[in-house]
Structure 1
C-alpha cells in the first residue's frame, strides 16, 4: 500500500512476468520508500485506487507523483529509475529525438507484454505471484 512519503506510486501489472521483474529490480535499488508499488491485478485495487482507471493502467504503465500528477508510459519508467539512482540508464528516453521511436515501441510492447514475456522467460502470466506458461 502506498505511503504519503512515497515520491511515486507505480501501478504495475502483476500478471506480467517482465513487469514483475522490473518492479523487483526497482524495489531492490530503492529501499527508502521513495516508490510505492501497487499491483493493479489485486482484488482491492479498484476500492483503494478509484481515481485510477484500471483499463488505462492495464494498457499503459501509470504512476502518480506525490503532488498528484499522473505519469504515463516511459515517463513513469524514467522517474522510477531516477528515484532508484539509475536515471542515467534511462536518460535517453527523455530526449526528443529518441522519444519519437521509443514511445511507439513502448506502446507496442505494452500491448504484447504477455507474449513477449513468454518468449523471453518461458512464462506467460503471473497469478498471485506464481508465474506459469499458458
Structure 2
C-alpha cells in the first residue's frame, strides 16, 4: 500500500540520488516517487509544478500535504530510518533547518555541480 507520494525534480542529480536511495530501502513499496518533469506528473493536477520545483512536495495516505524536510522525514520514517532527519524536526532546530533547506533547494543545481561535477542529470531520459 502506498503510504506517501513524493514529487521531486528528476533533473536534479542530488534529488534523483536521494530518490534512488529511498527506492533501494523501500522493500514494501510504500513510497511512490513522481518526477515533476515526467509525463506521469500530469496525472496530478492538484500539484503545482512551480511550487513543487521550489520545494519537495509529498502527500501522505490521508491526503495531507508535507513539504521540504517534513516530506523527507516522513519518507525515511516509513522505511525505519526517520532518525536521519529527526534532529532537523526538533523544535529548536526546525526553523533554521527549514531555511537551510530552502536555500539548498534554490541552489541545488549549483551545489550538485560542486559536489558531483554535474549540474543536472538526464536520469534515464
Give the TM-score, by structure 2 length: 0.95
* Matched positions, count: 125
**Retained in 2: the 8 A contact 1:29–1:85?**
no
Distance 2:96 2:57 in 1: 20
SS at match of 1:97: coil
Residue 67 (structure 1) aligns with: 62
Query: Could you tell me whether the CA contact under 8 Å between 2:12 and 2:121 is conserved in 1?
Result: yes
Corresponding residue number in structure 2 for 1:50: 45
Query: Does the Cα contact within 8 Å between 2:16 and 2:123 map onto a contact in 1?
Result: no
- Mapped to 1, the partners of 2:90 and 2:124 lie a distance apart of 35
Alignment TM-score, normalising by the size of structure 1: 0.89
1:11-45 deviation line (CA, Å, top 9, x unaligned):
11000000011111111111211100100011342
Secondary structure (helix, strand or coil) at the match of 2:58 reads strand
Structure 1 moving runs of 4+ over 6 Å: none
Separation in 2 of the partners of 1:84 and 1:52?
24
Candidates 20, 23, 36, aligned match of 1:24: 20
Q: Which runs of 5+ in 2 are unaligned?
A: none
Q: Which runs of 5+ in 1 are unaligned?
A: none
- 1:82 equivalent to 2:77? Answer yes
